[in-house]
A and B are shown apart, each in its own frame.
Chain A
């Protein structure tokens, strides 16, 4: 499976420059509009969307129909994407925290707020990345649909995660950081269920073969 991870990392190295520019521009925008408190979230959300690039690249060369002939299983293919998602979230969280250090030093953001916002970003990124992976493998692996899948996944997951935050806030007297941790636990459980359902269905599914001749 490490081969698949390395392949994706090689694939995204070309996209890293673009994503770095987007993140820097958004952070600059937050700084200049006095919205510095959202800086920890920006790299996590943007960073996790790099996963979309890997789906697009795979789909362009019909990688899946090729790699299923190797000793790797369909399960390995999906798990490698989830591991890549986790890797991207971890790296982007670290970047978000590093970009927030000036705000921490100048007391414009507290350590607690940084933790809360990072947790919220992680929750949205984890859920949307999982949703995107499931939708991509279960509904087609088609290049032309991947952008729509990405937008839908992020909209649905942001709404869901914020909804769960609100719900927990209403039904409990947890502090915001505890709500974030609770949502993370619920989210991990939901993601694990989604992962196993996706793997199970995908193993039985025919590989998407677009435009093949007879």
Chain B
């Protein structure tokens, strides 16, 4: 930021930001404040909403609730598996598409389709494909002898399936972002490496990956935010079962908030989720900034 142009005040920049910031504050700070207040209250919906101060009751319950603990463990598995697979597969698909000379546009636009289908429809499509009595994939698994049992009704396979559906839907987003990064890697560097006879793997590790690391982190940040927020796929397929094996924190939160209407406790759970998201994001942003600082 060493510019020599004289700058008169910052009124313009502030004015540009103001509308967005006011709107954002209204639709985020008010709910946040309400959530904090509700997390300290006993909330009753009957006869109109009423709150009575409950101190830290919801918070002590949060830290002693074994079900929430178990859900967090499952959430970690789900988070690492979905985001991890999406990053790896998305990068590989991007590299593959990038290496295509002909048909690149066609392949790319076909690969992108899943992310345009709402998760709720993806979940229902999953139920359609894995139904034990008429699902195409159940039938394929059974007739190839890979898995004879009930995919969505068994502990283990149910989790793999909901992870698979999430990966199916969101890998394209990662692939797209990474592809954009690849397009920006200067071709002359790659060509120079070719002349040197460098192997593909060498090129990948030492030239391509370092060049796209910042954008990989951007993709990682976007997906991490949403992996904790979105719950529609699990909600519509297994809804947490069987034997609670897919009951991640967002699904449990939905139960607490909208089946039990225990809104005070739900707010406490929601706030911890927000805190976890912020911690994860902070780590990623730090890494991103450090990367940028060292050109």
Q: Do A and B bind each other?
A: no
